Amino acid sequence: MDDKKRALLSVYDNTGIERLFGFFYKNDIFMLAPEDTKEKIVKDVIDKRKGSAELTVYAKYNIRTSLEKKISAVNSFSRKEGENIIYCNTASDVFSIGGKDPDHKIDIVIANPMQDKYDPEGIDLIAASVHDHPDKTLTVVDPHDYDKVIEELGKNDLEICPETKKYLDDKAVKFVKEYKDKFL
């Protein structure tokens, strides 16, 4: 199994994403993103740094949602057919993050869903991240926390202290509840 950290970025609001993306790249954190987030990163981050080799989007590893292949209300984010990274069974509130292969583990999830309309994929991703492996996966839903995450990962060998992790997880759980209350 590869020990390289993996971050999944699924953002609607790009506030602060340039610095976060740069930090992940500099620290060799492998980044995955759905197509729409990749496009935002290219537009808002890469295009600002024309000619810079500092930032790269790993296009061949984009995650796509396969809602049209939904089986018993399971949303699947996958790199390619049969390589599921995240399963979200919304019907039973059973969430799982990570695939069958240990190399598909996700260490960090950066997610902020749309605020003007309900974003089921975004909110399911956050719920899966928080509920399935709370001891392993760091979940960040607020762009205002990016600097805190960068600072702590930078000074602690890419690890987050338990207090900060609990704070961020609690914030994500509260966010999911408030988001669902707002739209459902």
> Domain for residue 74, yes or no?
no
Encode pLDDT of 31-70 as tens digits. Answer: 777 667 777 776 766 666 554 433 333 333 333 333 333 3
> Domain for residue 90, yes or no?
no
Structural domains in the chain (count): 1
Which phi and psi (to 5°) does residue 75 adopt? -95, 135
> Domain for residue 148, yes or no?
yes
In terms of pLDDT, which residue wins out, 23 or 53? 23
> Domain for residue 162, yes or no?
yes
Write down the residue that tokens 């739209």 correspond to.
183
Report the alpha-carbon distance of residue 103 to residue 98 in Å, rounded. Answer: 9
Report the alpha-carbon distance of residue 110 to residue 74 in Å, rounded. Answer: 21
Encode pLDDT of 82-127 as tens digits. Answer: 444 444 444 444 444 555 555 557 788 898 888 899 887 788 778 7
The domain that contains 33 carries what CATH number?
3.40.50.1380
Task: Note down the domain range covering 136.
Answer: 6-63+102-183
Structure tokens at 36: 């729409």
